[in-house]
Structure 1
Amino acid sequence: MELSKILKPEAVKVISAASSKKRLLHEFGDLAFSAYGIRAGLAVEALQERESLGPTGVGHGVALPHARIDGISDVIGAFILLEKPVDFEAVDRQPVDIAFALFAPEDAGVEHLKALALVSRTLRDARVCAKLRANADAATLYTILTESPAVQAA
């Protein structure tokens, strides 16, 4: 599985700031609608429901909100870089400036987990995160996220 299979260039966005975690989830809802046609309210509700089980801020300024949505056929992603970090109740209590949301079909067992693992592995790489934080252009961010691991290591 590759990030280019689950992330469209138009699902990558830079925003100056989100006033709260809830506002950031709403930004993902808007992005899910504009890039994939998923009803924004449905996407936000699914993300908030998952967050109620436990925050998805994984540390080092990274959050991986994810949810299952009825009616979609493939695992899809959306990425937001925040110029001003927001409190996301992360495990290390650090604010989040890199957020990658995943939306999976209701019945997407292993595929959802594979996608989550891929995104997690990618954003655990400090070099990748440093490149992301150094760029404010959505097209460049998409390229950084989707380049192969061999290229990232170079």
Structure 2
Amino acid sequence: MELSRILKPAAVKVFAAASSKKRLFQELGDVAHSTYGLDASATVEALLERESLGPTGVGHGVALPHARLDGLERVVGVFIMLEKPIDFGSVDRQPVDIAFALFAPEDAGVEHLKALALVSRTLREPALCSKLRANPEPTTLYALLTEAQSTQAA
């Protein structure tokens, strides 16, 4: 599985700020709607429902919100970089400025887990996160993400 199969260039965005975790989820839902045709409100609701089970902020300024949705045929992703980090309830209590959301079909057991592991592995690299933060341009972010992942696979 490759990030370029999960993430479209149009699903990579930079926002100045989000006032809260819920507002970030709304931004993720809007991007998922415009890029993949997903229902924005259903997407936000699914993210909030998943988040109620426990925070998806994995530390070091990174969050990996994810949800299962009806009507999807495969796992898709949305990447948002925030210029101003927000409190996310992360495990290390650090504010989040990188969010990579995954949306999976209701019945995508192993595929969903593989995608989550891939994104987690990719964003666990401090050098990559530093490059992402230093280059807040969507096309550059997409290139860094997909290039980093293909380099790791080699």
TM range (shorter): over 0.9
Question: Superposition pairs for residues 135-150 of structure 1, below 5 Å?
Answer: 135-149=135-149
CA separation of 1:148/1:129 partners in 2, compared to 1, >3 Å: closer, same or farther?
Answer: closer
Cα displacement string for residues 38-75 of structure 1 (whole angstroms, at most 9, x for unaligned residues) = 01001000000000000000000000000000110000
Q: Distance in 1 between matches of 2:107 and 2:150?
A: 32
Are positions 1:100 and 2:100 aligned together? yes
Q: Is the 8 A contact 2:2 2:150 kept in 1?
A: no
Give, in angstroms, the shift of residue 136 of structure 1: 1.4
**What is the aligned length?**
153
Letter of the structure 2 residue corresponding to residue 65 of structure 1: P
Is 2:10 the partner of 1:19? no
Alpha-carbon distance in structure 1 between the residues aligned to 2:75 and 2:55: 20
Runs of at least 5 residues in structure 2 that lack an aligned partner in the other structure: none
Per-residue CA deviations over 1:17-57 (Å, capped at 9, x if unaligned) read: 00000000000000000100001001000000000000000
Cα RMSD of the aligned pairs, angstroms, is: 1.3
Q: Give the distance between the partners of 1:144 and 1:111, measured in 2 at CA.
A: 23
- The answer (yes or no) to whether the contact 1:33–1:40 under 8 Å persists in 2 is yes
* Counterpart residue number, 2:41: 41
Report matched runs for 1:4-153 at 5 Å.
4-149=4-149, 151=151
TM-score (norm 1): 0.97
Conserved 8 A contact 1:55-1:90: yes
- Distance in 1, matches of 2:95 and 2:127, equals 19
Distance 1:89 1:42 in 2: 22
Q: Distance in 2 between matches of 1:15 and 1:26?
A: 12
Whole-angstrom distance in 2 between the partners of 1:149 and 1:122: 6
Q: Give identity over the alignment, percent.
A: 73
Unaligned runs of 5+ in 1: none
User: CA separation in 2, counterparts of 1:5 and 1:90?
Assistant: 27
With normalisation by structure 2, the TM-score equals: 0.97
Query: Once the 2 structures are TM-superposed, how far is the Cα of residue 148 of structure 1 from its aligned partner?
Result: 4.6
Runs of 4+ more than 3 Å apart: 148-153
